A and B are shown apart, each in its own frame.
Chain A
């Protein structure tokens, strides 16, 4: 069977819908991983040890195991304890948590790099420690790690393909469904690759804008 790309346009609708789901999945997971990363970083640095140690252990476990394995754990594990989530939600939790751990590592380093004088000055001005942390230290730390977090988000986009294995109807699964009907694997995976590449370019452009904006307001 040779190549025949003429069949691809007739599946343009489902593929584009899949691409839309991929974008949605990526954006929601990215936001979760960003906020979760901040929360995990603060817990890992300032939490009481009873929370800090388990959080560090979980982070270590998540950084040392494949995302695919974690997706299986979350998807099947939650069902096991009676929580039957839609695949999309399970996918968002899996991707979001996985990247939250990676973001947390970056943010922790950045928090520690914020000048101590900032915290001291904020305390002198009458802010409590948590207030000083949330309003003075963390915003500066987060600003410093926007570029590497952006890299993580690009990686997240590509890893979002993995949630097709737990049945989330995103771009990869859309391509697979089209292949199931036409047996044209090369054509549709290539089409999916092109769409991923385009989304990737769009995301890089957005990230560059965010980086520029943050730099200007310094």
Chain B
């Protein structure tokens, strides 16, 4: 174990870890937005919207995220979408995780007992009111944990953008593996940082889940 080398490169890895955190936050925000839209579409009363939602989930979950990223970044300019690597990474991965979050959110909404909506309707609430005031608050509680699983996966998935040369943690580790020939040291350093990000995120989500859980 070459500790001198590790100490020397640590600042660069820390900078890269900040980029990884930024990527994670932005992709998760886009993913949540896509997930909410996707879940709304899949549960819609209109068949066309349901089909669109199902197609989104099926196509995105049926193909590799790396291919989606390449399609957007390298293929985008051909159809008039010109993005820098960071934006392409954030948008591409955000749309990708959104498909998984669609299913998480839909699952949580469907899991709320049907009697709840019925009771609310009987009490005179409109369909929209029943959803917003009765079903959704319960579903939100149910979806925090599984969304946490999605977010955990997403933090690791940000490594993919190293393939389009965004200088984040994996790209940095790869570059230093190439230049120092110390793969184990570089892996450990990057690994510790990923684990730190994931552990802290996991704790935040668990705390949130505890706070809103019904007794």
Contact = CB atoms under 8 A, between A and B. Distances in A.
Contacts, number: 121
Contact of B64 (A158, A165, A201): A158
B173 A69 contact: yes
Interface string B105-139: 00000000000000000000000000000000000
Q: Which one of B62, B162, B182, B191 has the highest number of Cβ atoms from chain A below 10 Å of its Cβ? A: B62
B65 A185 contact: no
Nearest to B196: A64
B64 A159 contact: yes
A72 interface: yes
B159 A69 contact: yes
A3 interface: yes
A61 B195 contact: yes
Contacts of B170: 66, 68-69, 72
A66 B187 contact: no
A190 interface: yes
B174 interface: yes
B195 A65 contact: yes
B63 to A, nearest CB: 4
Nearest to B181: A80
Nearest to A164: B66
A62 B190 CA distance: 12
Contacts of A60: 195
Which size bracket describes the interface of A in this complex?
35 or more
Interface of A is mostly: helix
A66 B78 contact: no
B74 interface: yes
Interface residues of B, number: 40
B183 A65 contact: no
A88 interface: no
B198 A64 contact: yes
Contacts of B156: 64-67
Contacts of A161: 64-67
A196 B64 contact: yes
Interface string A155-196: 000111110110000001001000100001111011011001
Interface of A: 1-3, 60-61, 64-70, 72-73, 76-77, 80, 158-162, 164-165, 172, 175, 179, 184-187, 189-190, 192-193, 196-197, 200-201
By Cβ-Cβ distance, the 6 closest A-B pairs, closest first, are A186-B75, A66-B159, A185-B74, A161-B64, A77-B183, A189-B71
Interface of B: 59, 62-68, 70-71, 74-79, 156-160, 162-163, 169-170, 173-174, 177-178, 181-184, 187, 190-191, 194-195, 198-199
14 contacts: A1-B78, A2-B78, A64-B191, A65-B194, A65-B195, A69-B187, A72-B173, A77-B183, A77-B187, A80-B182, A161-B67, A186-B76, A186-B78, A189-B75
